[in-house]
Amino acid sequence: MPRTRPAYPPEFRREAVELLRAGRTPRELSESLGVSEQTLRNWRRQEQIDRRERDDGLTTDERAELVKLRRENQRLRQERDLLKRAAAFFATESGTR
């Protein structure tokens, strides 16, 4: 069974990234904060993207918008499929009378 990762509050993440920016190494912080080194690197990378210091990924806002749009797209597909089935049903109903 895969391990679930704990949810860290945004403020905790920001403070950890600030410590990295101040010169602390991921290894030092990993030991003191109880967060994996890779998680700290990921947080630093995402913060750099959010600050537009990097352009090789989505910002947090863009990522949230993408999730929202994907949900909306799924809902619209379901509505379209329902309308197709209803149209087919009514077409056969009117054809049998």
Has residue 1 been placed in a domain? Answer: no
Least confidently predicted of 1-15, 33-47, 48-62, 82-96 = 1-15
Has residue 41 been placed in a domain? Answer: yes
pLDDT in tens, 55-78: 888 898 999 999 999 999 999 999
Asked if 30 and 44 count as a contact pair (C-beta separation under 8 A), the reply is no
pLDDT at 93: 82
Q: What is the mean pLDDT of residues 45-55?
A: 90
Q: Are 38 and 74 in the same domain?
A: no
Q: Are 50 and 89 in the same domain?
A: no
pLDDT at 19: 96
Distance of CA 43 to the CA centre of its chain: 13
Total domain count, the chain: 2
Closest among 17, 14, 40, 15 to 27, alpha carbons compared = 40
Query: Structural domain of residue 45, as residue ranges?
Result: 7-57
Asked if 46 and 60 count as a contact pair (C-beta separation under 8 A), the reply is yes
pLDDT at 46: 93
Q: Are 46 and 11 in the same domain?
A: yes
* Residue 95, pLDDT above cutoff 80: no
Q: Give dist(CA 91, CA 9) in Å, integer.
A: 54
Q: Are 50 and 70 in the same domain?
A: no
Q: Are 48 and 21 in the same domain?
A: yes
Q: Are 68 and 41 in the same domain?
A: no
Has residue 2 been placed in a domain? Answer: no
Q: Are 64 and 93 in the same domain?
A: yes
pLDDT in tens, 1-35: 666 766 899 999 999 999 999 999 999 999 999 99
